[in-house]
Structures are given as C-alpha cells and as structure tokens.
Structure 1
Amino acid sequence: MNPPLICRLALAFGLAASLGNAAFAADPIASVTGAGLPPEVAAAAAGIDAEHIRSHVRFLSSDLLEGRGTGSRGGDIAAEYLAAQFALAGLKPAGDNGSYLQKVRFAGTQTLTTTTMSFVPNEGEALPLKLFDDYVVADQSLAESAIVDAPLVFVGYGIEAPEYQWDDYRGVDMRGKVALIIVNEPPSTDPKFFKGDALTYYGRWTYKFEQAARKGAVGAVLIHREDLASYPWSVVKSSWSNESVALADDQRPKLKAASWVQLEVARLLLALSGRDLDAAIKAAGTREFRAFDLPVKLRATIESHVRRFESSNVVAMLPGADKAAPRQAVLYSAHYDHLGVAPEMAGPPEMDRIFNGAIDNATGCAVLLELARAYTSVKEPPPHSVIFAAVTAEEKGMLGSKYLGEHPPLPAGQITLNLNFDSFAPFGVPESIKLLGADRLTFYPSVEKIAKAFKFTIEADSRPLAGSYYRSDHFSMARVGVPAFSVSLGDKYVGQTREWAQEKSREYTAKTYHQPSDEFRENMDFSSSVEMARFGLALGWEALSLPKSIAWLPGDEFEATRRMSERNP
C-alpha cells in the first residue's frame, strides 16, 4: 500500500496527522475532544496533516515565486495558488465579482542608488551618509525626484496621546521641517501609562511617520535602537531596501523623506549640535521634555522609481447554518506576501537575493489551507459562516488587511472573531503558546479552557516592548472593532528546555527573520503548524457555538468602535 493511500485512509478516519514527521501529541483526538468539539469536528481537527502543510510551504517558498513580493509575478502566482486551494476545499468565493480575489490598488516607490542624504550643520562640515549602511529612506509623496533641505527638530518619541496627557509636539510648528524621533515610546512600568512595559500603537514606526506628516513635517527620521525596536539594523535594511508601498487611494498627508538612521549616526548628529544623544533620550522620557530645534539641516535628494499596480487579498467563505441573518462569523487570516527579490544594490552579487519567506509566512498560509480543508470535511455546516482570508502587503505595513478591514466580505459587526496566523517555527511539538490580545476579550475564559485541553501553557509576552499586538494583521481587524488576536508559539517544546527554545528564537531573529535564509528545508518539523491549526479550529468552533457575539472587555481601546459596528451592521 503506497504512502498517499495510507494518508487518505488516515484522513478519512480522522486519525493521526503525518507520515515520516516528528511525533505529535500522543493522542490528538483526546485533545480536540477534550476541547469540547463535536465528534465529527474533532475527527476533522485530528486529520489535519503535516504533509499537506509541508507541500504548501514547499511551493509557496520556492524560488519560482521569487519571494512573493507585493505586486510581483511571484506574488500573483501565490494568490492564484491559494485561490485554487480554497476552491478545491469547496469554499465559496468571497472576493470581487464572484471571484476569490479582492483587488487592492497600490502605489509603490523604490528608492534608487542615486539617492543622497546628509546632515548639514549651520557651521562646520556636513556629515554625509551611506545609503543602507547608515540610513534608509523612502519618498511617500510618490515623486520620482524630491529635494529636501529642511531644519531638524528633535521631538523625542514623536507622540501626541491626550489620554496619557502627553504631547511631544506641543508648542512646535513642524511645517516645512524634519522630525527626529526615537523609536518606541516613553519608558513606563505603570499599566495606566502607555500600558506599562507593553508597547501601544503610539510606539510603532508607522504611527510616528503618520503623526509627523499630520503635523506638516516634510520628513521624519527614526533613530533605530535594537533594544527598543526588537530587531537588528539588518531587518530595517532588508525591508527598506525593497519597494515601499501604500494604498493608492490613501489621501492622508505624506512625507517626502520617511527615514531611519543607525543609532551611532544619530549620536554623531546630536554631537554636531553640541548635545549628547543618551541625555536627550533620557530627557524625552519625562513630562518635562520639550521639543527643540537642532542647528542642523537634513539635505537629501531622493530618486525613486514609482509604479501603480494591483495585488489581491484571497478571500473565501464557508456559509453557516444561519443563512438568514449571519451575526457571528469567524474570520481566519494569514498574510501570503513576503519581501520579494532584493535589489542588486542591497548586497554583493553572490548573495542569494530571494526572500523565500518559508516560516514568514508560508507556514501561516499552510495552516489556513489545512483549516479550510478540515472545515469542509465536516458534513454539517458550522453554526455561523467562516471566512478565510490570505492577505497581501503585510510586509508593507499591513495594507492588505487594512483594505480587508475596510471592505470585509461581511460587515465588521457580524464578525465575532478574527484569528490570525503569522509564522510558526518548525522546532517541534509545542507545549506553550502566546496569544497576544486574547485576554482583552470576553472570549478569554474559553481560550484558557481549550488551551488546557491541548495541554498548552499560555505564556505572557516575553518582549512587550516589541508591540507584537500592533505588528500583525489581526490589528487591522481590531481597528474596525472586530475582536481579534494572533495565535503564536511559546518558548517550550516537547523534549526541549525553555532555554533551548529561546536560543533558537534569538538565532532565528538574528539570522533568518526577513533574510534570504528563510528557506524551505526538507528536515523541517511541521508538528508545530499542525498543533496550531488544530488549536485554531477548536477556538473558531467554540466562537461559532457561543450564544452571543464576543466583545472587547470594558474600557478597551477598541470597545467603542465595536459597539458602533454592531449598531450599523
């Protein structure tokens, strides 16, 4: 009997998941049954197959797809592949015009090597900078050539947050100037002040550029610090040496120069002004801080290749039993895009220039496809509709999910939960998970119950300063009120110490995350993806089976938006 037939028989009986892969939980049916799933749903969950996941990851991260760049041929192939898989699973199209594709219009800007930038003091010699090594920059105004010659203003963390009585821009006219900004947000251990040691959206680089533009600045320069950004300069370099992308119809104010500089470059810049960077950063973390002018200009000529193009979210639906009045749909999401192919200017000729994105995020897409197959294997429809969305342009600022949130296949008020899957390291069978933001929902007791059935320990965020809740696609749904969180792996695996897992995670961040080395390997262990898919199915089915919709806890930042969306379904 050949292996594929054995696989089909195992799936038919809802038994074990994978051939020739690492050991899974001793009894997957016990876990899913213990989670309260009906027998047929439990069998579908137990039948989630590591070899299916392996096949999806192998294809999506192959060189053929050239890194799945947004608006690239490889990205379009990935979208068509995902649409075909949704169709094979038996899902209904939920994109545009009866298709699986939801078209999104973009404008892309590729910074060219002819770009120059320097800091020019009022007195003394200029400080020239080297593109990619010292700084990265993008012109958000979509001009092919832009000249910036404007004074710099140090605005601390660049945050205006009335609810925390904080305004770094008070008393400052930023029109025609360039903001110099510290990454992250004011240090705090008080959960009532910028949520203590957990990053809020105010600490995200996207907010800082948006706010500087709203204030009338022509440019903004973020000071990179690895301890605060939670990733090394190499990640900034690889991300920003590629094309910057925006929604084509976005009418918000834009910067001519959206830039990052290395910490040591910022140190030299402050020295040109007769100031100490460390002292300035310390002062910026206090309420006494006031923004101040620097006797230095940013002088830049930014040359760009500009293009307008389309990419697609891939959206499908499994109709629920409540066809007359859908009120509690569950949305599963994962981003399929990655960084594409690095421009030749980003490294030596012999460098592997394809950012294959095997872990980030072919694994999440593979989980999404296996969930689709599992749901459609159940004979009876789910209590409410289930939406599956593979979104584009996550790596460009979560733009595909932003568009999906603004144009959902069902009104936001009718979606009770968004579960997002973004990167599952192939390190083995997980014993712990991270569910950033789940504790903000009335659904959390159910989450704890299901995690216990799977014998998962729920870990707190080990890097709260990273602001993980605001760095993945579930955030786009939260912004329109949908209760949302991402399902992530923790720091404990069967047969391994916590220290081992933490070291593997550090190594991944340093050597693989957003690097061409994120490639498919035959020895990858996809048991983590299998367990996350099973867990995701149990969570989703529980949400579909609740007597009423999930809500944000009282006082949450998204509670008011949710109430408004439910009043206007």
Structure 2
Amino acid sequence: MDDSALLEFAETHANADKIKHHIAVLSDDSLRGRLPGTPEYEVAMQYVIDQYNSLGIKPLGNKEGSSFLQPITFRKSIVDESSSFLILNNLDTAKVGIEYFFLGNSSSPEVEFEGELVFAGYGIDAAQFGYNDFENLDVKDKIVVIYNGGPDVLPATERAHFSNTNTKINTLSEKGAQGIIFTTSPGGRGSFRGSYNGSRNGIVSVKMSDGEYAGRSNYGNMKFGGYFDWEFIRKITANEIDLILEKYQQGEVSQPSNSISLKGKVVNNFSEFESANVVGVLEGAELKNEYVIHTAHLDHVGVGRPVNGDSIYNGAHDNASGISAMLEIARLYSELPSKPKRSVIFAAVTAEEMGLLGSLYLAENPVVPSESIVANVNTDMPTMVGPLVSVEPLGAEQSSIMKIVERSTSLLGLKIDEDHLPEEVRFVRSDNYSFVKAGIPALRMKFGIQTKDSPTGLDSAISHMMSEIYHKPSDELGDSFNFEGAKTYVELQFLNSYFINNTEARPTWNENSFFKRFER
C-alpha cells in the first residue's frame, strides 16, 4: 500500500471503543492491580492470550512455538531490619527507617562491611560529554553517597541513561566501590520516606538463563546498597553537606572536613515466585525471518495503601492503556489485505514495575535470534488525556527511526515536540530500554503537550494525571481518558511500525549516537 492508502486503512480500522474495552477489562477491580505472581495476573495473561488467538497471532513464548507464555522466575529480597545494623564512626547506631535503610540484595543473604564514606555527586562518569564526577576521586573500597538524578548539562536522552539506577550501580561496581548509598538532595527527584516504604515490600530481581539474578538488587562487585535521609547526612557532616552541595553545583566535588567511617551488617530474606511474558507472532512475507517487536507491560503494582478507602491500584493508564494500544495495533496488522514484509512479535511483558525485569529477560533471552529483531516499538502509558496534536518520540532521535516518525506524523498532521519532562528520565523507565541495551533501536511514543489552540494546552492535564492519578488507586477508567486521542495514537504507532517493517533497510543507530555502543 502507498502512504495514502495505508493512512486510510489505519483511520478506518482503528476503533476507539475496542481500546476502551481492553482498558475496562484489564483495569477492573477484579484483577486487583495485576501484580505478577498472583491469580489475578494470570487472568490478565489469559485475556491477552484470548485476544491473540482471536487475531490469528501464533504462540512464540518458546522457540518451539508451543506456548504464548515465556515463564520467568523472580526473587524478592527483603532486608531483615532486626538483624541488620549501621554504626557511625564506631560509636552511634543509626536509626533505620528514619536516618537510613538498606536495599535488598538478591545475591547475598548476609554481608558485613566497614569503610570510609565519600561523596561523589550524581555518581556519573560521562567523560565523553565533558562530565565526570570521579575525575579527582578514588572510590575504591569506599562507601559512596550519590544524589538521585542527573545534571542538566547532559542531553535529555543521555541524561536519562546516566541517571538510571543500574547505570550508577554498574559504574561504582566497576570502580571498585564497597557500597552505594543514594540520597535525595533538596529539590531532587524522589523522597526518603517514599523509597523506604517501597523497599519494605522488597526489591525483585529476575533469574537469568545462566542462573544469576539481574536487576536493581544486584550490586555487582559491591557488597550492599542503601539510602540516607538528607537530615541524617547533615548530622553526620556537621552541616557541611549544604556547602558540599553548593560547591558541587558550581562544578567541584568536595568532601567533609572530618572523615566518616561506617560499619554495618545487612541480612536479606529471599522468596521466589513465577510469572511470564505473553508473546505471539504474526508471520510476515519475504522477510518473515526478521522481526519488529512490540512491547507493553501488562503488570501494575497490585493492592496497596488505601487512599480514600480504595486500596486497588488499577493501573488503567499504567499500563492497561499501553496493552490496549498494542492489541489494537495487532488487530490492524491482522486485517491488512496482504502480509507485511517482516514478521511482527507482540509481547505483553511482566514485572516492568519491578525494574523492567520481564523485558530484560526477553531482550537477553529472545525467542528468535537477537540479530533478527530490527526494532522495538513500545507503548507504555501513552498519556491518553486529550486530543493528540503533538508527540514526544522518546529515543527516536538516536536512530533512523526518527525519519519514520517524521513520515508518520506528517501523514497524520501531528507535530513533534522535544521531551518536556527530561528530569523524569522517561526514556530509561520503560521496557524499550531493555532492547536499547541489547543493541536494538527502539521507540517509546508519548503524547506531547500541544493542543490546537495552545503550544502547552495539554500540560495541565498531563501534570494532573502524573500528580493525582499515576500510581494511585484513582488510576481507573474514567474522565481522564480521551479515546479519540487514543485512537490517533494507535494509528500513529501502527504507521511507525508498518513503515519500519516494510522499509528494505533495517533501522540503524546514528553514527554519533551514544547508544550505538550497545550494538552486538
């Protein structure tokens, strides 16, 4: 089909009511927030399987093609606070949950440590961009405190990569640090209390094919990870931390006048559970042994702290909306008058909310040869809160996929915006990032903030959704959705996928892209 015929096909076949129906089913109270490892999550998986079957999508959860499910084992690590401790300068025992807490460690049931505390800014080594917190700092065998987030001087997408928790852990592990301690500086992203409450539920890792565990609770060569409250740091530095932060913001990494030593013990309790990615394929034509892979995460966070009497975190926006978009894209593919050039994989992945773990497993253990996957198209929480006038194609500028996006948006009369929330590092906070690290060009598409009447007209609706709905029991099917905007989003992502699929040349990383280094 030529572009005009394809556009007409997308516009006439995409159906807002079907998108709404999928969201209604998957965000219903009966699914209790779709927490992996629960019976309700299995109901959600079966719903996706039923949809795949109705569309003629074949099983691809294993290489034999006998099941839609790619089973995965997960380990939850919870710190035993009664058996763990932290002592400052061999004198004072710190107060857990008030001054500090340890993070679960999937590899070590029990560790002891002792060492000097040093401060390393954001803990980022981005020398290729002229930024290196370790230029005059040796952290070998040290316990290192770092701020959450990353500096504004880095480009948005690269900043997202270097701000990533796993990137920081890997950096310090490679530099020989003994432990890593995160903190939120004034005005920084995150909070001590929120992080502590989350940590008490445990940190989850994924068992890889080699038997090792991967994810945020794997500290590499380091012994442990933890978190300090800012007021505690003020106390142990005799209020020097404010000056240290001020100097850091002026480009100087400095240390307290008096050395600080820490000694401690971390005891972890482990439990394991099973979940699965739901993976299917529609076969292509002349290049059927090459694949475009669509991903959207099926999981959410389950049942939690009640808010106004409601304890079910339904996850309608996050990410029943993304699953619904992927299913609708799959339906469009299934109704094409002829097969696309390449095959298309659809993967409803698990454990995204636990650290992109389902996609990490899939990207590292693909059900087809890794080199045969040409691109990843990800639909994670598109933010369907209004008419779609502009889009933010996160990561597209790093590869030839941007040309595809320009083609698709032009057909639909949409505008392309830069990421209006670079501080949220959204590029690395969804499953597309697992494929980027596997060397596969990827696209995560978000609603932009423009409306027909204003360059920022959708900003307030998106801000409201993020502050009042995101990761709350109020993330339900309701007035916050705009289904005409959702329909346009599906049309756009279908066009992007189809153009990637049917272009003879595979997507390539730009020669100057930082992420080209992940090519295999």
TM-score range, shorter chain: 0.7 to 0.9
In the other structure, the counterpart of 1:335 is 297
What does residue range 403-482 of structure 1 map to in structure 2 within 5 Å? 403-482=361-440
What TM-score results when the alignment is normalised by the length of structure 2? 0.87
SS in structure 2 of the partner of residue 168 of structure 1: coil
After superposition, the Cα gap between the structure-2 partners of 1:256 and 1:121, relative to the gap in structure 1 and judged at 3 Å, is same
What TM-score results when the alignment is normalised by the length of structure 1? 0.80
In the other structure, the counterpart of 2:203 is 244
Q: How much does 1:341 deviate?
A: 2.4
2:73 alignment partner AA: R
SS in structure 2 of the partner of residue 140 of structure 1: coil
SS in structure 2 of the partner of residue 353 of structure 1: strand
SS in structure 1 of the partner of residue 434 of structure 2: helix
Q: 1:106 aligns with which of 74, 96, 99?
A: 74
- Counterpart CA distance in 2 for 1:171 and 1:411 is 42
Q: 1:258 aligns with which of 205, 214, 225?
A: 225
In the other structure, the counterpart of 1:10 is none
Q: How much does 1:367 deviate?
A: 0.4
Tell me, yes or no, if structure 1 residue 212 matches structure 2 residue 175.
Answer: no
Q: 1:503 aligns with which of 460, 471, 479?
A: 460
Tell me, yes or no, if structure 1 residue 362 matches structure 2 residue 320.
Answer: yes
Q: How much does 1:510 deviate?
A: 2.1
After superposition, the Cα gap between the structure-2 partners of 1:76 and 1:434, relative to the gap in structure 1 and judged at 3 Å, is same
Q: How much does 1:224 deviate?
A: 1.8
- Counterpart CA distance in 2 for 1:207 and 1:140 is 16
The answer (yes or no) to whether the contact 1:61–1:520 under 8 Å persists in 2 is yes
- Counterpart CA distance in 2 for 1:561 and 1:239 is 31
Q: What whole-Å deviation, never above 9, does each CA across 1:503-529 have from its counterpart, x for those lacking one?
A: 222222222222222222377432222
Q: What whole-Å deviation, never above 9, does each CA across 1:301-356 have from its counterpart, x for those lacking one?
A: 65654212222111111110025x634x22111111111223xxxx5797533222
Q: What whole-Å deviation, never above 9, does each CA across 1:487-512 have from its counterpart, x for those lacking one?
A: 11011245x64555222222222222
Gaps (5+ residues) in structure 1? 1-32, 189-193, 565-569
After superposition, the Cα gap between the structure-2 partners of 1:135 and 1:271, relative to the gap in structure 1 and judged at 3 Å, is closer
- Counterpart CA distance in 2 for 1:198 and 1:556 is 9
The answer (yes or no) to whether the contact 1:474–1:484 under 8 Å persists in 2 is yes
The answer (yes or no) to whether the contact 2:36–2:351 under 8 Å persists in 1 is yes
Q: 1:326 aligns with which of 289, 311, 323?
A: 289
When the two structures are aligned, how many residues end up with a matched partner? 509
- Counterpart CA distance in 2 for 1:254 and 1:60 is 40
After superposition, the Cα gap between the structure-2 partners of 1:68 and 1:283, relative to the gap in structure 1 and judged at 3 Å, is same
After superposition, the Cα gap between the structure-2 partners of 1:85 and 1:201, relative to the gap in structure 1 and judged at 3 Å, is same
1:222 alignment partner AA: F
- Counterpart CA distance in 2 for 1:513 and 1:369 is 22
- Counterpart CA distance in 1 for 2:465 and 2:308 is 22
2:182 alignment partner AA: L
Q: 2:119 aligns with which of 135, 154, 171?
A: 154
Q: How much does 1:465 deviate?
A: 2.7
Q: How much does 1:164 deviate?
A: 4.5
SS in structure 1 of the partner of residue 3 of structure 2: coil
- Counterpart CA distance in 1 for 2:27 and 2:41 is 11
SS in structure 2 of the partner of residue 402 of structure 1: helix
After superposition, the Cα gap between the structure-2 partners of 1:137 and 1:338, relative to the gap in structure 1 and judged at 3 Å, is farther
- Counterpart CA distance in 1 for 2:448 and 2:83 is 42
- Counterpart CA distance in 2 for 1:221 and 1:465 is 21
- Counterpart CA distance in 2 for 1:255 and 1:470 is 23
Q: How much does 1:112 deviate?
A: 6.0
Q: What whole-Å deviation, never above 9, does each CA across 1:431-457 have from its counterpart, x for those lacking one?
A: 111001112222323321221221211
Q: How much does 1:47 deviate?
A: 1.9
After superposition, the Cα gap between the structure-2 partners of 1:466 and 1:246, relative to the gap in structure 1 and judged at 3 Å, is same
Q: CA RMSD in A?
A: 3.2
SS in structure 1 of the partner of residue 73 of structure 2: strand
The answer (yes or no) to whether the contact 2:77–2:106 under 8 Å persists in 1 is no
Q: 2:281 aligns with which of 309, 317, 325?
A: 317
The answer (yes or no) to whether the contact 2:393–2:444 under 8 Å persists in 1 is yes
- Counterpart CA distance in 2 for 1:336 and 1:201 is 24
In the other structure, the counterpart of 2:146 is 181
- Counterpart CA distance in 1 for 2:113 and 2:385 is 47
Q: What whole-Å deviation, never above 9, does each CA across 1:39-69 have from its counterpart, x for those lacking one?
A: 5x74255322222111211221222222222
Q: 2:60 aligns with which of 91, 94, 100?
A: 94
- The worse-fitting range, judged by mean Cα deviation, of 148-157 and 57-66 is 148-157
Q: What whole-Å deviation, never above 9, does each CA across 1:404-436 have from its counterpart, x for those lacking one?
A: 111223333322221111113342211111001
After superposition, the Cα gap between the structure-2 partners of 1:453 and 1:250, relative to the gap in structure 1 and judged at 3 Å, is same
Q: What whole-Å deviation, never above 9, does each CA across 1:211-268 have from its counterpart, x for those lacking one?
A: 3344454532211247443x5667645643433111222376265543334xxx3244
After superposition, the Cα gap between the structure-2 partners of 1:454 and 1:233, relative to the gap in structure 1 and judged at 3 Å, is farther
